[in-house]
């Protein structure tokens, strides 16, 4: 193995490795050396934080807009941050203490809105980053919400349902004072789902009476909206449909890869497949598989939901998750965690289009590499807005105690996603910049304008 130090696109010296030996010993050795050199473990997340990623894109847009220094501070820093202690007695008989966060970034355009994540790597900076991203996302989508995010640093995948319920209720008890249907409305994110939202609503209801509009992403039986569960994945597919003709792609000839076969990834894959596209590789936290003849997304979804481990899925070859990014395809959909496409793997990517289902999956250095390679990147701030758009529909339905049919929800989602794509892509063309920069310009401008009009800032 040869190691050299080269200049990364962002100008920092980094270690690069040429490594062809894939034996377990060599992989362990590579991981050790990578850790020592400060680069990510193979196939893992970058060392650059989500906060650094969002800050980089925010600063670039603020510069281009000529936003005054004092206003940059106003629009970067969160409005309110709540940190709470969540002590839970687990099956081992001991009390474990987790930290919970709710961060309300900016509410100029409406009530705060954003998901709640249960993951051991949650920390306050990650939640700050995701809250800020929500502010720009709701503005780009044009839905009347501000931006927020929440999280609890618990190991959700190792906990029993009853333990998760205790954590959800305890978290709600401690943050309910800053929530409300006209103040702040949580939703699902990584390792939380419709069931978690049902517990949130029930706990909030003990204090305030039945209040379905307190959160979105609820089960259909508890005033959830048709189409919400699939909305983020479906929104990504609407983005693909808008962008494909410009890249000369037709669905029947399109191959795609999904990183993270959870809510967003599985729905995105299943709807891409309905269009006629073929999934050639996919991963989740357990591993990765590929098949050039195609992996049936519906069957894989049934297999995983029935308790199967993704790498054991029949008819596909298990591959090293590190190699997923290098699988040749037309469209790559990151739908796992932040920072997974970084300066040490971006140059291996062979896709023509990257649709960011996940939040902050691409570090700024990787973004630069992909732009240079000519990969068409549809950024998180617009690509995965489908979830918050249908959350908006759910909230509207809850406030009216009325339910729309799924077709109506999907059609309205399509209208909003298409509009967002067209507004951002025409701005990108006008200014000769990538979609990501254009999306941040559009989002920040709208929030600044709302804040000025309200009289928050001058």
Active site residues: 149
Question: Which 8-state DSSP code applies to residue 120?
Answer: T
How many residues are given for the chain?
458
What is the Cα–Cα distance from 425 to 367, expressed in whole angstroms? 17
Residue closest to ligand NAD, measured at CB: 262
What is the Cα–Cα distance from 264 to 359, expressed in whole angstroms? 11
> Whose CA is closest to 355, among 209, 234, 179?
234
User: Where do we find the tokens 């473990």?
Assistant: 41
Q: How many residues bind ligand NAD (CB under 6 A)?
A: 24
The residue from 107, 146, 339, 357 that contacts ligand NAD (CB under 6 A) is 357
What is the Cα–Cα distance from 242 to 425, expressed in whole angstroms? 10
Beta-sheet pairing, 2-7 with 13-18: antiparallel
Neighbours of 294 (CB within 10 A): 14
The answer to whether residue 285 forms part of the interface with ligand NAD (CB under 6 A) is yes
> Minimum distance between the CB of residue 252 and ligand NAD, rounded to whole angstroms?
27
The answer to whether residue 262 forms part of the interface with ligand NAD (CB under 6 A) is yes
Neighbours of 15 (CB within 10 A): 16
For residues 178-237, which are near ligand NAD according to CB under 6 A?
188-191, 232
- Judged by CB under 6 A, the stretch of 15-23, 255-263, 402-410, 426-434 that binds ligand NAD is 255-263
> Minimum distance between the CB of residue 105 and ligand NAD, rounded to whole angstroms?
15
The residue from 284, 322, 343, 394 that contacts ligand NAD (CB under 6 A) is 284
How is residue 387 written in tokens? 């979830």
The residue from 261, 313, 332, 440 that contacts ligand NAD (CB under 6 A) is 261
- Judged by CB under 6 A, the stretch of 59-67, 246-254, 280-288, 422-430 that binds ligand NAD is 280-288
Binding mask 362-401 for ligand NAD (x = CB under 6 A): ----------------------x--x--------------
> Minimum distance between the CB of residue 32 and ligand NAD, rounded to whole angstroms?
19
Chain centroid to Cα 312, Å, comes to 26
Phi and psi, residue 268, nearest 5°: -60, -45
The answer to whether residue 410 forms part of the interface with ligand NAD (CB under 6 A) is no
CB 366 within 8 A of CB 343: yes
Nearest residue (CB) to ligand NAD, 356 versus 448: 356
> Minimum distance between the CB of residue 45 and ligand NAD, rounded to whole angstroms?
7
The answer to whether residue 283 forms part of the interface with ligand NAD (CB under 6 A) is yes
> Minimum distance between the CB of residue 7 and ligand NAD, rounded to whole angstroms?
28
- Judged by CB under 6 A, the stretch of 59-67, 270-278, 281-289, 325-333 that binds ligand NAD is 281-289
Hey, CA dihedral for 320, 322, 325, 326, is it positive or negative? negative
User: Where do we find the tokens 């249907």?
Assistant: 181
Binding mask 317-346 for ligand NAD (x = CB under 6 A): ----x-------------xxx---------
> Whose CA is closest to 273, among 257, 289, 290?
257
Phi and psi, residue 247, nearest 5°: -100, 10
Nearest residue (CB) to ligand NAD, 170 versus 259: 259
Nearest residue (CB) to ligand NAD, 216 versus 254: 216
Nearest residue (CB) to ligand NAD, 189 versus 343: 189
- DSSP 3-state helix, strand, coil percentages of the chain (rounded to 5)? 50, 20, 30
Contact partners, residue 405, CB within 8 Å, separation at least 6: 226
Burial of 178 (0-12, 13-18, 19+ CB in 10 A): middle
Nearest residue (CB) to ligand NAD, 249 versus 420: 420
Phi and psi, residue 345, nearest 5°: -135, -10
* Contact footprint for ligand NAD (CB under 6 A): 188-191, 232, 259-265, 283-285, 321, 335-337, 357-359, 384, 387
């Amino acid at each position: 193995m040869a190691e050299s130090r080269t200049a990364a696109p962002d100008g920092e010296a980094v270690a690069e490795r040429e490594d062809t030996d894939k034996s377990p010993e060599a992989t362990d050795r590579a991981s050790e050396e990578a850790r020592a050199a400060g680069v990510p473990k193979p196939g893992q997340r970058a060392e650059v934080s989500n906060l650094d990623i969002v800050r980089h894109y925010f600063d670039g847009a603020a510069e281009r807009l000529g936003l005054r220094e004092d206003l940059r501070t106003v629009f970067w820093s969160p409005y309110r941050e709540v940190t709470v202690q969540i002590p839970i007695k687990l099956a081992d008989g001991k009390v474990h203490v987790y930290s919970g966060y709710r961060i309300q970034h900016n509410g100029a355009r409406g009530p705060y809105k954003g998901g709640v994540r249960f993951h051991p790597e949650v920390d306050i900076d990650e939640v700050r980053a995701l809250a800020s991203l929500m502010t720009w996302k709701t503005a780009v989508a044009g839905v009347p919400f501000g931006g927020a995010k929440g999280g609890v640093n618990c190991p959700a995948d190792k906990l029993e349902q009853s333990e998760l319920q205790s954590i959800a209720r305890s978290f709600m008890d401690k943050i309910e004072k800053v929530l409300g249907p006209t103040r702040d409305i949580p939703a699902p994110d990584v390792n939380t789902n419709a069931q978690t939202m049902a517990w949130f609503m029930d706990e909030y209801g003990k204090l305030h009476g039945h209040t379905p509009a307190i959160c979105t992403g609820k089960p259909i039986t508890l005033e959830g909206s048709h189409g919400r569960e699939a909305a983020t994945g479906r929104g990504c597919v609407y983005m693909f449909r808008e962008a494909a003709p410009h890249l000369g792609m037709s669905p029947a000839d399109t191959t795609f890869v999904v990183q993270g076969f959870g809510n967003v990834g599985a729905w995105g894959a299943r709807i891409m497949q309905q269009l006629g596209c073929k999934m050639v590789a996919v991963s989740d936290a357990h591993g990765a598989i590929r098949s050039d003849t195609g992996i049936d997304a519906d069957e894989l979804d049934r297999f995983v939901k029935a308790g199967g481990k993704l790498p054991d899925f029949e008819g596909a070859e298990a591959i090293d998750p590190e190699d997923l990014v290098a699988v040749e395809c037309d469209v790559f959909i990151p739908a796992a965690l932040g920072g997974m496409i970084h300066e040490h793997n971006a140059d291996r990517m062979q896709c023509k289009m990257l649709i960011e289902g996940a939040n902050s999956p691409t570090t700024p250095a990787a973004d630069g590499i992909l732009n240079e390679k000519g990969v068409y990147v549809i950024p998180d701030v617009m690509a995965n807005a489908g979830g918050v758009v249908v959350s908006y529909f759910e909230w509207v339905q809850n406030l009216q105690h009325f339910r729309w049919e799924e077709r109506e929800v999907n059609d309205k989602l399509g209208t909003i996603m298409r509009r967002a794509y067209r507004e951002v892509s025409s701005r990108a063309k006008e200014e000769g910049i990538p979609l990501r920069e254009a999306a941040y310009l559009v989002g920040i401008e709208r929030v600044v304008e709302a804040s000025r009009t309200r009289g928050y800032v001058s």
